A = this chain, B = another copy of it.
């Protein structure tokens, strides 16, 4: 999950030099904020600083990104003619991402692996059609219900763009890639089967050959068993789920998560107790990557983020000892 951000004074210092999208587009600065959490809180992987909406922006949709307000597309997709105008030629326009990856890899100097990410087709389409964040998603759902052919055409285009984008990220140096499906949880099981999973399956199948592990994170979905057949290595598990149950349902895939990011506002005792409970739930059999259940929040106290990392390292190594002796 996202690690860089406003909770770090060092991030805020860099952010003063440019706006959010400018930061994504300036490889030196993007690399700098990507490495910050590794050096400041001690996480054991870096996540390339970026935004999922750089793909639709590269397809020709002007994007306004204001951290406190959320993203806005002033000219959202509403009809076939809007889709016709989108460009499929995105990689040249996203060169800044690949440059940032190369710079970050140099700075990391093999200390920790680098993770790159993209938005899943459904989540990208939510923003492209709604034009901004939404409470009920009635505009994008109406688009799916009233113009299903166009919705599927757009989702398929987006799946192809995500594939080539993630392949290029891997080629530039990313060791792992994540596919974020922030709005997967707003659909009925039938709509999930129709508008979400086939496109994620296409992405996972195509990336399978590239060797880098793929993590799929569908926030808020009810039924992890539905994801067992996807060709990905790991599943992100949000904090509302019982991770032991999710691990069983994931049927052999690694599970990643599932601490509520709000727990970082609690006392050290509560943080430690929550980490212990997650470790207890997943057992000693491996197949678990400790993580937050979603991105770190802007007001998070830095010392609590650092304490969490220390705590996870300590309990994780105790657990490995336990597994080795049992």
Q: Which of A25-33, A91-99, A257-265, A318-326 faces chain B?
A: A257-265
A248 beta carbon closer than 8 Å to chain B: no
Do residues A270 and B240 form an inter-chain contact, with CB atoms below 8 A?
no
Measured CA separation A227–B262 after assembly (Å): 25
| Residues of chain B lying within 8 A (CB to CB) of residue A240 | 185-189, 220-222
Do residues A262 and B141 form an inter-chain contact, with CB atoms below 8 A?
yes
Do residues B220 and A265 form an inter-chain contact, with CB atoms below 8 A?
no
For window 133-172 of A, CB contacts with B under 8 Å fall at: 136-138, 141-142, 145-146
Measured CA separation A188–B146 after assembly (Å): 36
Copies in the complex: 2
| Residues of chain B lying within 8 A (CB to CB) of residue A261 | 136, 138
What string of 1s and 0s marks CB contacts (under 8 Å) between A174-212 and chain B? 000000000001111111000000000000000000000
Interface size on A, residues (CB 8 A): 37
A20 beta carbon closer than 8 Å to chain B: no
A267 beta carbon closer than 8 Å to chain B: yes
A251 beta carbon closer than 8 Å to chain B: no
Measured CA separation A186–B220 after assembly (Å): 10
What string of 1s and 0s marks CB contacts (under 8 Å) between A233-261 and chain B? 00000011110010000000000001011
A277 beta carbon closer than 8 Å to chain B: yes
Do residues A145 and B241 form an inter-chain contact, with CB atoms below 8 A?
no
